Structure formats: structure tokens, C-alpha cells
Structure 1
Amino acid sequence: MIMRDTSVFMPLDDFFSKIGRRRAIVLCQIPVSLAMGLITFFTFLFSPASLTNAVFLITLVLHLLILVASLACPWNRLPAAAFVVIPVADCLALAVTREVGGPVLSIVGLLIAFPVIWLAVSASKTRLALAITAPLLGTIVSPLALGSEIEQRELIRMILFPVIMGGLAITAHLVAEGVLKHRNIRDQKDRELVRLHESTKNHEQLLDAVLETVNVGVWAIDTDGGDILTNRRLRADRTMAQQMPGVNPFVVGPDQSAQAMPDHPAKLALKGDSFTNKLIRVGAGEQQQSFSVTAKPLQDKEGRQKGSVLAFTNVTDLVTALEARDKFVATVSHELRTPLTPMLGYLELLKDEPDAGYIDVIDRNAQRLLTLINDLLLVASEDLEIRRRPANLSKLLKQAARNAEPEASAKGITLNNHIPGGLQAEVDPEQFTRAITLLLSNAIKFSPNGSEVKIGLRQHNDRFTCSIQDQGIGMTEEEQEHAFTKFFRSDHAMKTAVPGAGLGLSISKAIIEAHNGQIRLKSRPGGGTTVTVSLST
């Protein structure tokens, strides 16, 4: 049993429940009984005449009865507060003993401090009142009961002694309250620490379970590239990469130099870079694996970087499927374009015949098919060839508007141009015009009949900004995230059979980025769409 569990500063009910009420009461009574035993012994040695006083003998018997009562009473079957009878009886018996003993036994009065403290350390205010009242009653009642004459000097003792005992009771009670309050606070903090420990342990177990379940390699590193945390998937990928030629992206070491792998994801992350879905390849040949890597920096409370967290997703199957699709599109496009080219040449020779109107229809549809095939070829091509030369951007935009005019007129859409003249930049005229034409075509397709499409161009310092704004159906946030994805078609486009293969925005983006430019899209459902293209001079 630890010390604080048997402290007298505990609430007595709790104290009794720990060691049993009988034992607790006897332990509290023993100091008084032992002291009275010693006093009796020394009285017998040094003042045997006092033992001939019948009243003194009665008080000794009274003290003995109090001890017997503390030992014999069935305290467990009595109310919890019944024990107060013992310390109150001690106060009265000691007061009588002191009065009977006279100056020889005046020290007996000090023993009243024991029952006073016994009562005062309880949490009960009633017991504190008894601790103050019992010495007062004993001091006043004992001389009256014994018929002693009260001299004037005795009044000082009769007044000061209860006051001193009362002060002792109050002090003991306040100290006990403070200790109890401190103990309760400490216990509450201990319980909170236990709760937090359990909560942290549960969260740690949950995190471990999640990390070991997901099929994504998770790697947390410190500022030196050392491992903080890895999961099963990451360790398996690291082992696999060690068996392949080339740099291991799952290890940071002296041999993993930036020259060996300039886009080493961990090296970039340790520089503070944050990136999403960065594609890396491990190994070569048929065993080559592709990973999509996402990295976020770890920071302390002052905002200083203390590491980074990287997530590796094996996208080999997806990349393989995309490459297979691109190869398929390229193959089919070449096969389709081969017969179309001579067909268009013969159609040029037949335009002078009487049935030229029919031939025009054939020509128009063949041109449309050729455009689609060229788009498919461009999408399948890994490298977009850009031939830059000085060009008049204003004229190129106006040419793109003229290219889109027939499609706009068919829907009664007005193309409103805000294009200042004479703005020059180095671009590929054909490809740039194609990109703007595709953006205009896309705006017209998704705009209602009779609406307006605005085309703007402005220059700020060494950058040009071209904007195309429509009054169409707009796009949701999710649709905007996939707007530049190859072959992406929104639900609305599918339901309303809007023509197109979902290539216009992706081709425009490829052309603009090949010019080291940027293309941005801003839209909201029912509020139209604005596409902004920015280029440097």
C-alpha cells in the first residue's frame, strides 16, 4: 500500500474503505491512549499521591473505555460519521483529566490537539465545527462539573486554550483541504494523461493499420533523408528498386546524386518542394515500373522544415494502358489518313463538274474527318513540333475568329472581338491559330443559340494575355479538374450529344505549353466559362 493511499489528508470515508474503519479509528486513537498510558506510568513514579484521587482514577478508566470502544464497536455497520464520538469523547476526557491533575498534569491539555486534528482534517464542515466546539466545551464544562473554583487567572487559560485549539483546527482543515484539492487535481491530470496515452495509442494503432493496408508506399524522411516512417508497400518497392538498374528513388544516400537522377523525388522534397502526381520510372525494359509521387513538407511549430512525407503509387498498369491506347490511336489514324489524302486530291479535280454541290458536301466531311484524325495524331504524339517566328498576334486571333465564324453563325452566336492591332510575339502561327480556333470552337459548342462569345487580347510588360469568354452552361469544380484531360467529356456533353471527341482543350493546352505559356480555366455551372492564355514576348 503506497503512502498517499493511507494519508490522513484523504477523506475519511475513502481512508476507512482502504484499511477498514475499525483499523483506521484504532490507529487514530492510539496516540492519545499511548500518551495517557505514559502519563499514568510517570504519575505512578513521580506523583503516586495523584493516583489516590478517585476522580483521576475515573478519568483513567474513561480513557480506557474510549480505547475499548474504538476496538469493540461494529463500525462497519454504523453510519460513516459515527466515529466522531471517539475524538469528541477524547476532548472531553482530556479536559477533565487536565482539570483533575492540576498543575502537575497541565501538559495533558496539549493532547487535545490529537482529536482536534483528527476531526479537522475531515472534508466535513460539521466535523470542523466539532473540532472547534469540543475543546471549548471541555475547558468550560470540566471545572463546572468538578465544582472547581475559577480564579481570574484561570479565565485566561479557559479563553485562550479553546481559541488556540480552534485555530489549530482551522489551520489543519485548510491544510487538509489544500492537500486534498492538490491531490484531486493531480489525480485528474493522471486520469487525463492515461486517457491521452490510450487515445494516442489507439490513434497510433489505427495509423499503423491504415498504412499497412493501403496499397500506396508512404515514406516520411528527416532533413538528412533518413527514414522516420515507412510502410510495408514502400519497403517492398524499395527492395524491388534495388534489384533494378539505375537510381533507386526510395533511398537517399551519397550515391543518389542529383546528376544521376535530377528529378529524384526525395531530393526535391528535401529542398522544400511540394508536388502532386509526379511521374517517375524505375528500371528499364519490360520490368520498368512507373510511380506517381506526391510530396508534402513537414514543418515544426515555427514553420521550419523538419522533413517531408512522400507517397508512391504504382501506376505501371495505367501508364501501360495509356501508352497502348496512344499507340492504337496513332496506328488507326495513319491507316485512315492514307486513303483520305488522295481522295481529297481527286475531289479537287471533280469540283468543276455539274454535281459540285454534292462533291462540296463530301469535301467538307472529308476535311472534318481529316481534322479529327490530325487531332488524334497530335494527341498520340509525345513531342509537339513548334516553329517559332515573329508574328502579329492580333492578326492570328482575328484569323482564328474568322475560322470559327461559320460555326458561330450556324447557332446565331456573336463573336465580339476586343483585339488591339499590331501586337507582335514569337509564336508558331499555324499552331497558335489552331489552339485559339479550338478554344473558340469549344466555347461555341457549349453556348446557347443567340448568345455572345468575347475574344480579348491585352499586353502587360512582356506578357500577352488572350481571353475567351462564353455564356454557356459552365462547368462544375470536378469537371474543371478534368477539363484538360484527353478524351474527357462532361456528363452534359454526353447527354446532349454535343459533337466532339474531348480533345480540343487538351490539344490547346499542349500547344500553349509548348510555347512556354499558360492556360487557365475559370467557370461555374450556368455562369459560362472563361479561358485565359498567357504568353511571353
Structure 2
Amino acid sequence: MSERVMYLKAKHLYSTLHYRTRIGLCELPLALLVAIIATIVSITAPSLFTNPLFLGGLVLHAGLLAASFLTPWERFRPGSYVIIPLLDFVAIGLTRNGSVDVLPGLSLLAIFPVIWISASAIRTRLSLLASFLGPFVILAVPPLLGFAPPSQFWTAVLLGLAMATVSVSLRFASLNSDYSQRKLEASKAEVDRLQGENAERALVLEAILDTIDVGLVALDAHGNRTLTNRQQRSYDRLVKAGEQDDDGGSHLYAADKSTPVQPNRYPVHRAAAGETFANYLVWIGPKDSQRAVMTAATAIKDGDEQFAGSVIVSSDVTDMVEALRAKEDFVSNVSHELWTPLTSIIGHLDLVLDDEDHALPTDTERQLSVARRNAERLYALVSNLLASASGAASVHLRPTDLTGLVENSIESAGPQAADTGVSLKADVPDILWTSSDPLRIRQVIDNLLSNAIKYSPDGGTVTVRAREECGSALLEVQDTGIGMSPTETKLIFGKFFRTEAARQSTIPGVGLGLSITKAIVDSHGGTIRCTSQPGAGTTFTVTLPLHRPEQN
């Protein structure tokens, strides 16, 4: 236990004592010391007990101790107890002068009443006067009465000055102690005020967090929850509904609504492991009342970049997911309904236009060609809609030369580029083997090239680069076209998304090509990203797995 704690406990215990008991305890140390001295004298110099001064001093000490404990001081004026230390000077003078030949140093006992008077509530001047006169009188009376040499008078003066100096020091120490106490009390009051404000803010924050319809969980560095709001508690109840599902696990499922999520993939467990993620979709609750929840987590780092906790946010996106699913079902159904008649229309137009035995008038042939061209354009649109609605593209991986695909795609895009004044350039190696589906990757390159040409309406340059980098095949398609904002680059792979500039221009499109492109790249285990600046062009970068000879 520290000294500070012991002092505070002793101070608290002292403050609980009865007032007269506290006065008695102040007198007790001097009385005990005098009792010890009397005991020693009874053994070493018993003749002192025949001295009336010495004996009178002892009796007065005993009487003062008894008076300290027995007098009802609380009935008298405050500070009246100071009579006890003043009479102590008299008792010490009698005891000292009655044993001066044996115990000349007893005058030093005056330090006890000096301390008591200095710590009392009497005025400072009176305290200094009493601290000087009390010790002075003890030594000055005998020479004044002729019972001691005159030189002792100056010793009395020195003793009085010394005790007065001690009193001054004690006064300053008391003032410093009082100042420190007031400062401590002020600090405690400030801490109490801040704690009160923090408690109020915590209540307001808790009310705010319980009001929002987003689940929130805060974790500490050990993965323990430190905060969970009302919405998150409702999600937790859904996860634990019925305690367990049929397979013995919690009601937490993957995006397909049926595959249980492994414990190490739970959002909270991923966050506790220090992982940062976003747009992690899970389904919670029993299978007859599931809700779709989109989760995200951000790891918190301390000053040393060490994991210090995490915050997980969960949002109910059931309505949005079901709306998207309904939209995709609608698009898929409509596309299937259009597919058959379009196939028939294109087939019959091909038969008519390719019939060499029955030549058509020039105007008729031109009009039918326009009809076929637009029917093929509509057919391509329906194909894209079907591909988009089908989700992930199916691929058949095999060794594929990416360089050859790029060269063929550039050759096919040549007429489109020439019509808009766009220059096509290629920077590719002689051969670059990838493990990919050539039909699907050719579709990716065609989509990116077509977009690069289409969104460079005033001419410019489209450059296609391919190389091996960091163990992957890297494909870049860069244009010098209209570009887009950083916000738009984050949304560019969404279905039906078109930039503001594209919507305001006459450039055709419905915003499906890049979403299909991303689905194809993802199905290969690759990545695609977009960098762009308005008016400075756009660059799409695709990574694909390389083909290794050991894979043959």
C-alpha cells in the first residue's frame, strides 16, 4: 500500500473521530513521552520524585491529558482547546526546572506544543508569539529569579527564536498543504464535472446509435465487444433464432441463402482478426424469414500501427437485393421473349438478301440491309442482357496466346476506328501465354476496344499493351477520349451505369458491356480496374493468370 493511500485512509479515519477524542490525540504524544521519561527517571534518579517542581510538572501533564479527552470542547468557542498546548509550556517548564541537573534537555519538549499551536486555527501573529514566549519562559524564569546564571537568559532567547522559526516553517507547510488540498479538490471537481459530461454524452451517443437503422459493433484489440447498438442486437437475435439451424450452426448464410458461413468468415470474426472489408453480403435468420445484410469493417490502428480494435457496420439490404433480383428476372424474361423472334427476323433477312437467284431492286436491298443491321444491333443488345442476367460467365480454360487475341481484335476494330478518326496502336510481345477462355477474353478485348473508340468521338489514339508482370499477364487499353470523374470510375462496372458525359452525348449504349467484362475477368480469377481523368482519357487494366508449362 502506498504512503499516499495510507495517509488518505488515516486522514479519513481521524475525521470520523469525536471532537474531544481528536483533541486528546493531539496531547497524547507529549504525555506518552513524559511518561517514558518518568519511568526512566524512576530507575536512574528516583530522588527527582521528591522535587516538588518535577513532581508538579508530571501531575500537570497527566491532568492536561485527562482534560483533553474529558472536556466537552464542542460546547466551547472554536479554538478554545489552545489552552492545552499553552499549559503544556508550563508543565514542561516545571518538569525541566525540577530536573535541570539530571535532564537539562527537557526544554526541547516545547516542540510539541509549538507544533500543535502552529497547526491550530488561531491567528498567525498569536501563534508566533506563543511559539516564542512559551519556550522562552521555560528557560528565562530561573535566571530572572536568580536560580540560574544570567547567560541562560540568552539561551532562552535562542530557544524561543528557534521555536518561532519552526512555527513559521510549519505555517508555510500548512499553507502549502492547504493550497495543494484546494488544488486537489478543484481537480477532483473538474474530473467529476468531465465525468458527468462524458456520461451525458455517452447517453446521447447511445440514444443516437440506437435510433439509426444500421447495425454497429465496436471491438477492442482482443476482439471483445465494447459497443453494440439496438439494430445490431436485433440482427444477433435473428442469427441465434431457435439457437441453431438444422445443421447445428448459427443462422448465417452466404449470398446463395443456403450455404452456412464458416465461423472464421463471420463478419465479427474477420474484423477481430484485423481484416478490413466492405460489401460483404450475408443472409441471417431462419430460412423462412431470412434478411440480407451488407457488412463492412474497418480496422483501428494505434500509434505503432498495431491492431487496436475494429468497427463493423451492417445494413439490411433485403429490399434492394430482392428488387435487383426482380429486375434481373424481368430483364432475363424479356430478353428470352425477344431472342426467338429476333433470330427468326435475322434469319429471314439473311435468306432474302443472300438469294442470288432473285435479285432485289437497289432501294429494297438497301432498306432491307438497314433492317438487318439494326436487327443485329438489337440482337447484340439482347445477348448482352442475357449475359448480364445470367450472372457469372462460364469459362473453359486452356492455353491461350493473349498477343494473338489482341492483334485479331485490333484488326476487327479497324473499320470502326477509321470511321471516327481514331488511331490504333499495339505494344505486345511476340507471344504471351495465359490460362484463359479465348472466346471470353476476345469478348473482353472487343468490349474495351469498342468503348475506347466510341468514347473518343473527336479522334485520338487507342493503345493496347500486354506484358507479363508480377506473375500475371497484364492487359491495358488506353484512350485519349472524354474520360470520367473519380466518382464515376468507382461505379463504371455496375449494370446499366453510364457517365454523365455519355448520357448527354449521342453515343449509343445501355451500360452493360463493362459489367459483362468484369464478370468474365472475375470468372478467370483475374482483376480489372479503371483509371481516368475528365478530358484526359481512360485506362482499363486487366490481369489474367499466366499459363505455366507444368500445367500442360
TM-score normalised by structure 2 residue count: 0.67
1:209-228 equivalent positions in 2, closer than 5 A: 209-218=207-216
- When residues 298 and 457 of structure 1 are mapped into structure 2, their CA distance, relative to the original with a 3 A threshold, is closer
Question: Does structure 2 retain, via aligned residues, the 8 Å contact 1:269–1:308?
Answer: no
| Corresponding residue number in structure 1 for 2:269 | 270
Q: Distance in 2 between matches of 1:223 and 1:114?
A: 58
| Corresponding residue number in structure 2 for 1:362 | 371
Work out which of the residue numbers 479, 494, 502 in structure 2 matches 1:470: 479
| Corresponding residue number in structure 2 for 1:345 | 347
Write the letter of the residue equivalent to 2:480.
Answer: Q
Work out which of the residue numbers 502, 526, 534 in structure 1 matches 2:511: 502
Q: Give the SS at the match of 2:403.
A: helix
Q: Aligned-pair distance for 1:531?
A: 1.5
Q: Give the SS at the match of 1:281.
A: strand
**Structure 1 position 161 matched with structure 2 position 179:** no
Q: Give the SS at the match of 1:387.
A: coil
1:71-110 equivalent positions in 2, closer than 5 A: 103=97
Deviation track 1:320-360 (CA, whole Å, cap 9, x = no partner) reads 11111011111111222222222222333326651344444
Q: Give the SS at the match of 2:331.
A: helix
**Structure 1 position 425 matched with structure 2 position 434:** yes
| Corresponding residue number in structure 2 for 1:256 | none
Q: Distance in 2 between matches of 1:283 and 1:135?
A: 84
Q: Distance in 2 between matches of 1:159 and 1:270?
A: 82
**Structure 1 position 532 matched with structure 2 position 541:** yes
Q: Distance in 2 between matches of 1:292 and 1:236?
A: 17
Q: Distance in 1 between matches of 2:294 and 2:177?
A: 61
Work out which of the residue numbers 308, 333, 336 in structure 2 matches 1:334: 336
TM-score normalised by structure 1 residue count: 0.69
Write the letter of the residue equivalent to 1:483.
Answer: I
Question: Does structure 2 retain, via aligned residues, the 8 Å contact 1:212–1:232?
Answer: no
Q: Give the SS at the match of 1:333.
A: helix
**Structure 1 position 382 matched with structure 2 position 391:** yes
Q: Distance in 2 between matches of 1:443 and 1:263?
A: 42
Q: Aligned-pair distance for 1:319?
A: 1.5
| Corresponding residue number in structure 1 for 2:238 | 237
| Corresponding residue number in structure 2 for 1:452 | 461
RMSD: 5.7
| Corresponding residue number in structure 1 for 2:35 | none
Q: Aligned-pair distance for 1:401?
A: 2.7
Q: Distance in 1 between matches of 2:292 and 2:252?
A: 16
- When residues 217 and 337 of structure 1 are mapped into structure 2, their CA distance, relative to the original with a 3 A threshold, is same
Work out which of the residue numbers 510, 514, 520 in structure 2 matches 1:511: 520
Q: Give the SS at the match of 2:160.
A: helix
Q: Give the SS at the match of 1:500.
A: coil
| Corresponding residue number in structure 1 for 2:4 | none
Question: Does structure 1 retain, via aligned residues, the 8 Å contact 2:526–2:543?
Answer: yes
Question: Does structure 2 retain, via aligned residues, the 8 Å contact 1:249–1:265?
Answer: no
- When residues 245 and 524 of structure 1 are mapped into structure 2, their CA distance, relative to the original with a 3 A threshold, is farther
Q: Aligned-pair distance for 1:398?
A: 2.5
Q: Aligned-pair distance for 1:533?
A: 0.4
Write the letter of the residue equivalent to 1:350.
Answer: L
Q: Distance in 1 between matches of 2:121 and 2:505?
A: 81
Q: Distance in 1 between matches of 2:96 and 2:220?
A: 82
Q: Please, which runs of 5 or more residues in structure 2 have no aligned partner?
A: 1-8, 32-49, 54-73, 355-359, 547-552
Identical residues among aligned pairs (%): 30
- When residues 426 and 299 of structure 1 are mapped into structure 2, their CA distance, relative to the original with a 3 A threshold, is closer
| Corresponding residue number in structure 2 for 1:291 | 293
Write the letter of the residue equivalent to 2:181.
Answer: R
- When residues 169 and 470 of structure 1 are mapped into structure 2, their CA distance, relative to the original with a 3 A threshold, is farther
1:134-283 equivalent positions in 2, closer than 5 A: 135-136=131-132, 152-173=150-171, 175-177=173-175, 179-180=177-178, 183-184=181-182, 186-187=184-185, 190-191=188-189, 193-195=191-193, 197-199=195-197, 201-218=199-216, 230=228, 231-238=232-239, 240=241, 242=243, 249=250, 261-264=260-263, 267=266, 269-270=268-269, 272=273, 273-282=275-284
Q: Aligned-pair distance for 1:246?
A: 5.5
Q: Please, which runs of 5 or more residues in structure 1 have no aligned partner?
A: 9-18, 36-44, 49-69, 76-82, 253-258
Q: Aligned-pair distance for 1:138?
A: 8.0
Write the letter of the residue equivalent to 2:439.
Answer: E
Q: Distance in 1 between matches of 2:502 and 2:94?
A: 112
Q: Aligned-pair distance for 1:186?
A: 4.6
- When residues 494 and 131 of structure 1 are mapped into structure 2, their CA distance, relative to the original with a 3 A threshold, is farther
Q: Give the SS at the match of 1:489.
A: coil
- When residues 110 and 291 of structure 1 are mapped into structure 2, their CA distance, relative to the original with a 3 A threshold, is same
Q: Distance in 2 between matches of 1:151 and 1:96?
A: 21
| Corresponding residue number in structure 2 for 1:80 | none
Q: Distance in 1 between matches of 2:217 and 2:303?
A: 21
| Corresponding residue number in structure 2 for 1:485 | 494
Q: Aligned-pair distance for 1:260?
A: 7.5
Write the letter of the residue equivalent to 1:484.
Answer: F
- When residues 489 and 286 of structure 1 are mapped into structure 2, their CA distance, relative to the original with a 3 A threshold, is farther
Q: Aligned-pair distance for 1:151?
A: 5.6
Q: Distance in 1 between matches of 2:442 and 2:260?
A: 37
- When residues 263 and 403 of structure 1 are mapped into structure 2, their CA distance, relative to the original with a 3 A threshold, is farther
Deviation track 1:219-265 (CA, whole Å, cap 9, x = no partner) reads 6789999977654322442354758655654589xxxxxx9735456
Q: Aligned-pair distance for 1:117?
A: 4.0
Q: Distance in 1 between matches of 2:135 and 2:223?
A: 81
Write the letter of the residue equivalent to 2:493.
Answer: F
Q: Distance in 2 between matches of 1:353 and 1:346?
A: 17
Deviation track 1:164-199 (CA, whole Å, cap 9, x = no partner) reads 213422442454356446535653564465346435
Q: Distance in 1 between matches of 2:133 and 2:489?
A: 90
| Corresponding residue number in structure 1 for 2:321 | 319
Q: Give the SS at the match of 1:386.
A: coil
Q: Distance in 1 between matches of 2:94 and 2:283?
A: 104
Q: Give the SS at the match of 1:385.
A: coil
Deviation track 1:102-126 (CA, whole Å, cap 9, x = no partner) reads 94699998797577546755999x9
Which range moved further: 224-233 or 506-515? Answer: 224-233
Work out which of the residue numbers 429, 445, 450 in structure 2 matches 1:441: 450
Q: Aligned-pair distance for 1:278?
A: 2.0
Q: Give the SS at the match of 1:481.
A: helix
Question: Does structure 2 retain, via aligned residues, the 8 Å contact 1:248–1:282?
Answer: no
Question: Does structure 2 retain, via aligned residues, the 8 Å contact 1:245–1:283?
Answer: no
Q: Aligned-pair distance for 1:152?
A: 4.5
Q: Give the SS at the match of 1:366.
A: helix
- When residues 288 and 117 of structure 1 are mapped into structure 2, their CA distance, relative to the original with a 3 A threshold, is closer
